[in-house]
């Protein structure tokens, strides 16, 4: 275990676990938390033994948003100059290894945005998602108005961003925001289990899958299909493709070497 107090990391086999740890403030995000998450991703990305990451909070809150007390007296010039929690915010997005958000309790504002920046969300049945910034006189600042409509469509995104209401785990699953809903006491186990399945595959190939799915959000269908085809052809240059197909034909388990 490795703790930078507000962010704790653990290694579970081939999975890197990153836990936001500010329970006294519902895991509100400040520079230390966002820097800590980024440092943990840096470390796990550099570690060849890690194939997948899980980002989680505690049973009450994944993260209840950016730290309101800290930013309440900002003026524009100050927020701009200090680049408030922005400088490392994109680190999740630039991670090449998959990251699962395991969300229990509140994922609000920046907390919901951090979860959406992960590759998929596993939700405890206690999870509550929302973009309540409007209640504070601000708008979502880290992807809420952009990733949420892509995940749940315009109608529900408008509903959540304009009313500031929360959405429970069942509604979030129906709307397509979350991949799986599980009982709260099984959340971490389920997320670690799925992460460990992913980490058991060929790492370069999981990175290619992630890159290709993400391309769907950045390109036309024609361009996306072309990108996919090029990457698909490229998998025949991966040693693990030979091993994966040979193992199938020989009716044995493959041993991937990540090359």
For ligand DAK, the binding residues (CB under 6 A) are 25-26, 28, 64-69, 85-86, 89, 106, 108-110, 132-133, 136, 141-142
- Name the strands in the sheet holding 106-108, side by side, starting at the edge strand that comes first in the sequence: 61-63, 106-108, 128-130, 166-168
**Catalytic residue from among 36, 110, 130, 143:** 110
CA 125 – CA 236 distance, rounded (Å) = 41
Active site (annotated) includes residue 110: yes
Q: Which two tokens stand for residue 206?
A: 């999981």
How do beta strands 99-103 and 52-56 pair? parallel
Closest CB to ligand DAK among residues 68, 246: 68
H helix intervals, 48-109: 68-71, 76-82, 91-94
Specify the residue, 28 or 102, whose C-beta has the smaller distance to ligand DAK: 28
Smaller CB distance to ligand DAK: residue 137 or 255? 137
Q: Please tell me the distance from the alpha carbon of residue 15 to that of residue 191, in angstroms, as a whole number.
A: 10
Residue 51 C-beta: closest distance to ligand DAK, Å: 28
- By C-beta, is 108 or 205 nearer to ligand DAK? 108
CB of 126 to ligand DAK, least distance (A): 12
Q: DSSP label at 66?
A: B
Q: Which two tokens stand for residue 216?
A: 């769907």
Q: Is 133 a catalytic residue?
A: yes
Structure letter (DSSP) for residue 53: E
> Of 170, 123, 179, 115, nearest to 147 (Cα)?
115
Residue 113 known to be catalytic:
yes
What's the closest the beta carbon of residue 27 comes to ligand DAK, in angstroms? 8
Determine the angle formed by the axes of helices 110-117 and 144-152, rounding to 10 degrees: 60
Instruction: For the CB of residue 251, give the shortest distance to ligand DAK in the complex, in Å.
Output: 50
**Cα four-point dihedral sign 114, 139, 143, 177:** positive
Distance in Å, CB of 84 to ligand DAK, minimum = 6
71 vs 209, beta carbon nearer ligand DAK: 71
Q: Which residue, 18, 20, 21, is CA-closest to 1?
A: 18
Q: State residue 20 phi and psi, 5-degree precision.
A: -75, 130
Catalytic residues: 66, 110, 113, 133
């Amino acid at each position: 275990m490795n703790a930078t107090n507000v962010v704790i990391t653990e290694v579970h086999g081939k999975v890197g676990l990153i836990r936001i740890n500010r329970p006294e403030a519902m895991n509100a995000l400040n520079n230390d938390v966002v820097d800590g998450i980024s440092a943990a991703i840096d470390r796990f990305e550099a570690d060849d033994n890690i194939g997948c990451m899980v980002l989680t909070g505690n049973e009450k809150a994944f993260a209840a948003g950016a730290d309101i007390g800290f930013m309440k007296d900002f003026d524009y010039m100050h927020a701009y100059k200090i680049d408030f929690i922005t400088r490392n915010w994109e680190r999740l997005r630039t991670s090449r290894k998959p990251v699962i958000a395991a969300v229990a309790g509140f994922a609000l504002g920046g907390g919901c945005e951090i979860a959406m920046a992960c590759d998929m969300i596993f939700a405890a049945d206690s999870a509550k998602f929302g973009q309540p910034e409007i209640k504070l006189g601000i708008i979502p600042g880290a992807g809420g108005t952009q990733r949420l409509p892509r995940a749940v469509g315009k109608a529900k995104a408008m509903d959540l961003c304009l009313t500031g209401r929360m959405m429970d785990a069942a509604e979030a699953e129906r709307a397509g925001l979350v991949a799986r809903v599980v009982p709260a006491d099984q959340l971490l186990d389920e997320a670690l289990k799925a992460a460990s399945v992913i980490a058991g595959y060929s790492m370069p190939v999981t990175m290619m899958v992630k890159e290709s799915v993400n391309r769907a959000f950045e390109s036309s269908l024609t361009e996306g299909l072309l990108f996919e085809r090029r990457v698909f052809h490229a998998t025949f240059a991966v040693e693990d493709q030979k091993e994966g197909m040979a193992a199938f034909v020989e009716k044995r388990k493959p041993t991937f070497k990540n090359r």
